[in-house]
């Protein structure tokens, strides 16, 4: 028998013994109060006494991820005094075991590329899952008031109960304001950059003014835009336009200057026109810069659209919902909107990254 | 070796070029007089700062002379450039990384508005000329430095210009690759009958390749001496050990050293 020297496995094993011996505070009638420490002990034993192999790692991963469900289930049968020392020993042990197994998983070198891809995908998923598990257990175990921080299960329940509201808000804020503002802001920033690059005096005149506009605080701009364009989504789109215009302008201007002197001389030796040089050399060379701006702006657009709704909006929209529900102490609804915003933001960022890889495949950071 | 025609394809008279810099004016070129005949292989050699690259860039209309006259194919350099009289090969391959090798060779043809069928034909022909057939679909970064530079030569030849202007094209390559490419370049020159202007700072390279060597010296950049170099038609790398080769190399070295002795003035 081989004993693992990993301090993670050793401390997890000791804590699992603690979980067996010390009362968790759960109801003695509950079978979970008996089975949970046993499952945990078996998992810790697997970690400590088996050599690292694919089969032992899979067994460990399965056991380790049964435990949190038992632990959360145990909380239901707790008395008003809540869980005691033995329970927290088990939580700590389960967390260390998860850490141990994910560490081994990350160190795994697999021959098959698709298997490796599954592992690479599993790592962030497990990491995120444990964040939610610990959040749930700690908030409920310590009885944190849900107005300060609701447990994830409560937020999930709120999300599933409010799909029509969340969808209407998402439509209003993201599909209308953020996307329209993003398209107009990025598009006009791009065209302005081409113009600034072509006309030298604009470079001196317009760029500093663009700089000034970029420094304007969104909380100052938003109420003015609401006065100008009304309280519907158009005013939010206007705020997004102002926020996204400048990053695109500056990045594209920098990108247009990114092609080398030699490459430009080359185009000149062919007697190439301005437009030919622009489309065949300078814009392709500028693409990494332009995608940089597109990525920065994708997050800015959502922030801008949400914050702008704080300053007047119809009774729909993610920003409106957040400010209204905070006032009514419905913090779980605020978290539900935060979840939708985070999901939409990451998905759009991911989508732009995918397009970027396809367009700038030649860039040293993506070459295969 | 191609038949040397007598026509002056490049005619430079009393040409000077002064760069205005923050440290005051710099005489990059001073009183240059040079005539190049069609089909010749002319090398510009000299230490850095002698203006050899600047002179090549003036011929290519990438720099404007301050005074004097220059004609390329009987036209101003600007007209010659617009008429695509020359292909230019830079110190680096300067291939566009988002285009395949074939796409890079196709670039000047697209700029000049050739049909797709004609482009495909010329890409195949010129890649074969530089022994890169089969690499058409590869991207530049997948090729070695020597292959990249050969692709850039194919690109310069693709639109069949009368002249090839080459600015230290093999300077960044190791000596083995360089020798190999020099041999290939001579064969290419014999095959295509083009006028070649070749900037280098390597004496063996200049003597091995050229029919005429222009020795230049710095501060102010000027022509020190023009040495004829007729080593016969069939040159292989072996001729570098012959007395005739060594004698010309010696004259070039003497010329370079003489040019430098003006430094003290």
A298 confidence band (pLDDT: 50, 70, 90): very high
A266 and A330 co-located in one domain: yes
B119, B138, B160 — which closes off a domain?
B160
Q: Quick one: pLDDT at residue A1?
A: 58
Residue A335 pLDDT exceeds 90: yes
Query: Cα dihedral angle (A198, A291, A276, B142), rounded to 10 degrees?
Result: 140
Distances (CA, A) of A248 to A79, A204, A333, A361, B59: 57, 17, 34, 21, 40
Residue B118 lies in a domain: yes
- Check CB contact under 8 Å for A269 and B86: yes
The mean predicted confidence, pLDDT, of chain A is: 88
Which of B87, B88, B166 is the best substitution to test chain A (most A C-beta atoms within 10 A)? B88
Residues of B in Cβ contact (< 8 Å) with A263? 94, 96
Above 60 in pLDDT, residue B144? yes
Together in a domain, B205 and B258: yes
Do B153 and B175 sit in the same domain of this protein? no
Count how many Cα atoms sit within 13 Å of the Cα of residue B51 in the half-sphere of its side chain: 29
- Give the span between the Cα atoms of A165 and A302, in whole angstroms: 18
A chain contacts of residue B87, beta-carbon cutoff 8 Å: 269
- Whether residue B1 has pLDDT greater than 70: no
- Res A26: pLDDT: 65
Asked if pLDDT for residue A360 goes beyond 70, the answer is yes
B119 & B241 share domain:
no
Residue A331 covered by a domain: yes
- Give the model confidence (pLDDT) of B212-233 as tens digits: 999 998 888 888 888 888 777 6
Q: Do residues B136 and B198 share a domain? A: no
Q: Do A265 and B90 touch (CB under 8 A)?
A: yes
pLDDT at B265: 41
CB contact under 8 A, B92 and A284: no
CA distance A342 to A330: 19
Domain stop point among B160, B182, B208:
B160
B131: which DSSP letter?
A: T
- Cβ atoms of B47 and B217 within 8 Å: the answer is yes
Query: Does residue A207 fall inside a structural domain?
Result: yes
Q: Does the residue B92 lie in any domain?
A: no
- pLDDT for position B255: 85
* CATH value at residue A176: 1.10.3720.10
Same domain, B172 and B63: yes
Same domain, yes or no: A167 and A129: no
User: Does B62 contact A281 at a Cβ distance shorter than 8 Å?
Assistant: no
Look at residue B93 and tell me if it is in a domain: no
Q: Please check whether residues B106 and B150 belong to one and the same domain.
A: yes
**Predicted confidence band of residue B261 (pLDDT cuts 50, 70, 90):** low
Residue B123 located in a structural domain:
yes
B247 and B172 in a common domain: yes
Predicted interface score ipTM higher than 0.90: no
Q: Which of A101, A120, A144 is the last residue of a domain?
A: A144
Taking the C-alpha atoms of residue A343 and residue A339, their distance in angstroms, rounded to an integer, is 6
Predicted confidence (pLDDT) at residue A39 exceeds the cutoff of 70: yes
Within a domain: residue B3? no
Tens of pLDDT along A136-168?
A: 999 988 888 888 899 999 999 999 999 999 999
* Pair A140, A166 in one domain: no
Indicate the range of A111-125, A304-318, B47-61 predicted with least confidence: A111-125
Whether A299 is covered by a domain: the verdict is yes
A104-108, A284-288, B133-137: range with lowest mean pLDDT: A104-108
Helices and strands counted in chain A (H then E)? 16, 0
Which residues of A make CB contacts under 8 Å with B? 260, 262-263, 265-272, 276, 280-281, 284, 360-364, 367
How many angstroms separate the CA atoms of B93 and B181, rounded? 14
Most confident of A108-122, A237-251, B20-34: A237-251
Do B78 and B135 belong together in one domain? no
pLDDT at position A274, please?
92
Residues A139 and A170 in one domain: no
Q: What is the DSSP string of B16-37?
A: EEEEEETTEEEEEEEEEEEEEE
pLDDT of residue B193: 83
Q: How confident is the model at residue B264 (pLDDT cuts 50, 70, 90)?
A: very low
Residue B199 pLDDT: 93
Q: What is the pLDDT of residue A256?
A: 92
* Chain B residue whose CA is closest to A281: B96
- A181 shares its domain with A222: yes
Tell me which residue range forms the domain holding A329: 160-359
Residue in A269, A360, A362 nearest the CB of B60 = A269
Are residues B137 and B253 both part of a single domain?
no
- Domain end: A87, A112, A144, which one? A144
Global pTM? 0.82
The domain boundary residue, chosen from A87, A116, A144: A144
Residues A67 and A196 in one domain: no
Q: Are residues A128 and A59 in the same domain?
A: yes
Is residue A153, in this structure, part of any structural domain at all?
Answer: no
Specify the 3-state DSSP secondary structure of A162. Answer: coil
B interface with A, Cβ–Cβ below 8 Å = 60-62, 81-84, 86-88, 90-92, 94, 96-98, 107-108, 110-112, 139, 141, 159
Number of domains in chain B: 2
Tell me the count of A-B CB pairs closer than 8 A.
53
Q: Nearest CA of chain A to the CA of B111: how many Å?
A: 6
Across chain B, mean pLDDT equals: 86
Q: What is the pLDDT of residues B97-110, one digit of tens each?
A: 999 999 999 999 99
Q: Which of B85, B111, B142, B162 to mutate to test the interface with A (most CBs of A within 10 A)?
A: B111
Per-residue pLDDT band at B137 (split at 50, 70, 90): very high
**CATH number of the domain encompassing residue B39:** 3.40.50.300
A189 and A63 both lie in a single domain: no
Domain co-membership, A212 together with A340? yes
**Mean pLDDT lowest for which of A58-72, A202-216, B11-25, B202-216?**
A202-216
**In a shared domain, residues B170 and B252:** yes
- Domain with B52 in it: 8-85+165-264
Pair (A180, A269) in one structural domain: yes
Give the model's confidence band at B2: pLDDT under 50 very low, under 70 low, under 90 confident, else very high.
Answer: very low
* Gyration radius (Cα) of chain A, Å: 27
Average pLDDT over residues A187-196: 93
Note whether residue B91 is domain-resident: no
Q: Does residue A100 sit in the same domain as residue A189?
A: no
Burial (CB < 10 A; 0-12, 13-18, 19+), residue A261, is exposed
- Which chain B residues are within 8 Å of A281, Cβ to Cβ? 96
Residue A330 sits in the same domain as residue A182: yes
Q: Is B110 inside a domain boundary?
A: yes
Residue A222 has pLDDT above 90, yes or no: no
Asked if residue A155 belongs to a domain, the reply is: no
Inside any domain, residue A368: no
Same domain, B75 and B183: yes
Token pair 């011996």 in the structure block, residue: A21
Chain A environment of B97 (Cβ under 8 Å): 362-363
Instruction: Give a yes or no: residue B2 inside a domain.
Output: no
B-chain CB neighbours of A272 within 8 Å are 111
Whether A229 is covered by a domain: the verdict is yes
The domain total for chain A is: 2
B27 DSSP β-pair partners? B18
pLDDT at A368: 67
**Residue A306 reports pLDDT greater than 70:** yes
Token pair belonging to B210: 């050229």
Whether residue B35 is found in the same domain as residue B126: no
Per-residue pLDDT averaged across A359-365, rounded? 87
Task: Tell me the average pLDDT across A278-284.
Answer: 93
Domain boundary among B110, B128, B160: B160
User: Which of A263, A280, A367 lies at the smallest CB-CB distance from B141?
Assistant: A367
C-alpha distance from A284 to closest chain B C-alpha (Å): 8
d(CA B80, CA B96): 25
CB contact under 8 A, B98 and A268: no
Q: Percent of chain B, pLDDT > 70?
A: 95
What's the pLDDT at B220?
85
């Amino acid at each position: 028998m081989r004993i693992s020297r990993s301090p993670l496995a050793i401390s997890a094993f000791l804590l699992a013994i603690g979980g067996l011996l010390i009362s968790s505070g759960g109801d003695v009638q509950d079978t979970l109060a008996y089975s949970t420490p046993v499952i945990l002990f078996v998992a810790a034993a697997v970690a400590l006494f088996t050599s690292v192999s694919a089969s032992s790692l899979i067994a460990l991963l399965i056991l380790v991820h049964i435990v949190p469900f038992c632990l959360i289930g145990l909380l239901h049968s707790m008395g008003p005094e809540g869980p005691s020392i033995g329970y927290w020993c088990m939580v700590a042990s389960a967390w260390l075991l998860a850490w141990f197994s994910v560490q081994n998983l990350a160190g795994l070198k697999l021959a098959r590329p698709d298997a490796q891809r599954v592992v690479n995908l599993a790592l962030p998923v497990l990491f995120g899952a444990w964040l939610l598990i610990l959040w749930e257990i700690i908030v409920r175990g310590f009885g944190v008031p849900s107005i300060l921080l609701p447990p994830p299960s409560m937020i999930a329940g709120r999300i599933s109960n409010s799909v029509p509201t969340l969808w209407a808000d998402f439509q209003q804020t993201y599909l209308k304001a953020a996307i329209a503002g993003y398209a107009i802001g990025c598009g006009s920033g791009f065209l302005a950059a081409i113009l600034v690059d072509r006309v030298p005096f604009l470079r001196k005149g317009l760029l500093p003014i663009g700089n000034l506009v970029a420094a304007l605080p969104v909380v100052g701009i938003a109420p003015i835009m609401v006065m100008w364009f009304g309280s519907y989504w158009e005013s939010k789109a206007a705020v997004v336009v102002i926020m996204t215009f400048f990053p695109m302008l500056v990045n594209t201007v920098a990108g247009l200057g990114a092609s080398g002197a030699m490459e430009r001389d080359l185009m000149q030796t062919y007697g190439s026109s301005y437009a030919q040089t622009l489309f065949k050399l300078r814009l392709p060379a500028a693409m990494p810069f332009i995608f940089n701006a597109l990525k920065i702006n994708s997050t800015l657009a959502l922030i801008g659209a949400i914050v702008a709704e704080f300053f007047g909006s119809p009774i729909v929209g993610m920003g409106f919902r957040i400010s209204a529900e905070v006032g009514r102490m419905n913090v779980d609804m605020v978290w539900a909107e935060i979840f939708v915003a985070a999901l939409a933001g990451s998905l759009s960022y991911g989508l732009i990254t995918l397009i970027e890889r396809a367009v700038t495949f030649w860039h040293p950071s993506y070459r295969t | 070796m191609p038949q040397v025609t007598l026509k002056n394809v490049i005619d430079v008279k009393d040409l000077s070029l002064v760069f205005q810099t923050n440290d005051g004016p710099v005489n990059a070129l001073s009183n240059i007089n040079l005539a190049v005949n069609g089909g010749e292989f002319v090398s510009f050699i000299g230490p850095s700062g002698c203006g050899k690259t600047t002179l090549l860039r003036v011929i290519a209309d990438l720099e404007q002379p301050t005074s004097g006259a220059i004609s390329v194919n009987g036209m101003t350099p600007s007209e010659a450039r617009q008429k695509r009289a020359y292909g230019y090969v830079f110190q680096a391959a300067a291939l566009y990384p988002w285009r395949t090798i074939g796409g890079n060779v196709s670039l000047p043809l697209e700029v000049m508005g050739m049909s797709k069928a004609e482009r495909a034909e010329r890409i195949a022909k010129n890649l074969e000329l530089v022994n890169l057939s089969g690499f058409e679909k590869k991207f530049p970064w997948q090729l070695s430095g020597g292959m990249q530079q050969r692709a850039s030569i194919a690109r310069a030849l693709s639109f069949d210009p009368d002249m090839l202007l080459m600015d230290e094209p093999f300077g960044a390559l190791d000596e083995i690759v360089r020798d190999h490419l020099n041999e290939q370049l001579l064969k290419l020159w014999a095959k295509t009958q083009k006028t070649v202007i070749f900037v280098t700072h390597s004496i063996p390279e200049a003597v091995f390749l050229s029919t005429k060597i222009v020795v230049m010296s710095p501060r102010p950049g000027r022509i020190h001496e023009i040495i004829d170099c007729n080593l016969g038609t069939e040159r292989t790398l072996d001729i570098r050990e012959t007395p005739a080769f060594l004698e010309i190399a010696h004259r070039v070295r003497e010329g370079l050293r003489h040019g430098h002795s003006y430094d003290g003035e």
